[in-house]
Amino acid sequence: MTNAVSIKNGRLFFDGVDMTELAAIYGTPLYVVSESIIRERIERIKIEFLNKYPGTIAAYASKAFQTLEMCRLVASEGLGFDVVSGGEIFATLKAGADPADLIFHGNAKTPDELRYAVQHGVGRIIVDNLNEIAQLERLGAVFGKKIPVLYRITPGVDSHTHRFISTGSLDSKFGIPLNQEVREMYMHAVLRSPHIDFRGFHFHVGSQLHDNFSHLAALDILLDLVRQVKAEFGFAAREINLGGGFGIQYLPTDPDPGLSYFIEPMMKKIEEGFSSAGIPQPTVIIEPGRWIIGEAGLTLYTIGAKKEIPGIRTYLGIDGGMTDNIRPALYEARYHALIANKAERTGDTLVTIAGKCCESGDILIRDIKLPDPQPGDILAVFSTGAYNHAMASNYNRIPRPAVVMVKNGSHHLSVRRETWEDLISREL
């Protein structure tokens, strides 16, 4: 667990704030996000990547957790933004970010989203298919702009992660396959267009990776492509985007390889590959999301019913579940937890944490030992900063939780809790 976690007088503290007290003030379920951890992670990106290697860019993959406050925080630290929809572009700009710092991704961007991105001067568009090139050419003519683009390639490598978050295999909805015919079609499309500023290539091999094999394998393929298009088309790539996917710790036993474990060997390959090809060193971009925000968040729940089935299982019902954390039901994600008001006590009771939704699959944690859990206890689930708030829903008409930011013993409301009235506010 992160250094921001501590135990005092038997109670859990996160970034200096008593979690039992916080639950009493704001209610549960409650997303709690540590500003200190976010800034510490960004500082590591600066030390291990941006300051260490000239001509580099880091863009926060905001789909992991995007609130106005998070956008303002990231912008204040000088990072850019990876966005994947018109809504994410809108929110980022609403928070005051420079549109030039945005990188627009997506395998099925709509015409309205592309128009909005071009109209507002989004810094880069990651092209996923030939249809996007045609649309961008038309938009470039309409607005009198030359639009910066990179191609997202499908490197065809296997990632050691759940298949639902593996994105670099050949059979993927993302990216451009690298057969000769497709490559020539795309290269001709961008190199002959007066409205396309073709800068280079992008790949993303998957999420929550703890080894660098797939990143390095994909990079070898990308460097081969860079050399081939230089020889065939005379094009020297000026930018390459390595995506993200760097893993974090969800369980205390999970490995923590660190950012440099991924970055250093890739940068060495890039330096050697471009030098041997006689091409100037490109701008190199990374897009960490989960790695920045994942361990910066935890979620608080109140334990309700305790259901003992002799010889089978003991269930603990909580006041949240798959509406605030879909990941266990979606791809069997695993989490670590403890009871915030009994934080120093050793777990002695084997239980399964069951969510409140009307679904048998709404199980948050299966088989965890907690200290004599009772109704009214506050359960704290760690490493929920990424893809919890972002993927929350109103299934069963359940309001989404509030978000509270904490820092060095202080706390404030960042996103208010939804009400029942909110749930029907759009209905006629």
Catalytic center residues: 358
Report the distance separating Cα 404 and Cα 414, nearest Å: 5
Strands (E), 227-292: 239-241, 283-286
H or E stretch at 349: strand 349-354
Q: Which residues, in sequence order, are CB contacts of 3 under 8 Å at separation 6+?
A: none
Cis? peptide before 29, omega within 30° of 0: yes
Q: Which residues, in sequence order, are CB contacts of 71 under 8 Å at separation 6+?
A: 62, 81, 91, 92, 95, 96, 97
C-alpha R_g of the chain: 23
Angle of CA points 275, 280, 283, to nearest 5°? 110
Q: Which residue has the tokens 């099925």?
A: 108
Taking phi first (over 0 means left), then psi (-120 to 50 degrees means alpha), and beta for anything else, what does residue 287 get?
beta
Kindly report the length of the chain: 428
Buried b / exposed e over 326-336, threshold 16 CB at 10 Å, is bbbbeeebebb
Concatenating the DSSP letter of every residue in 353-383 gives: EE-SSS-TT-EEEEEEEESS--TTPEEEEES
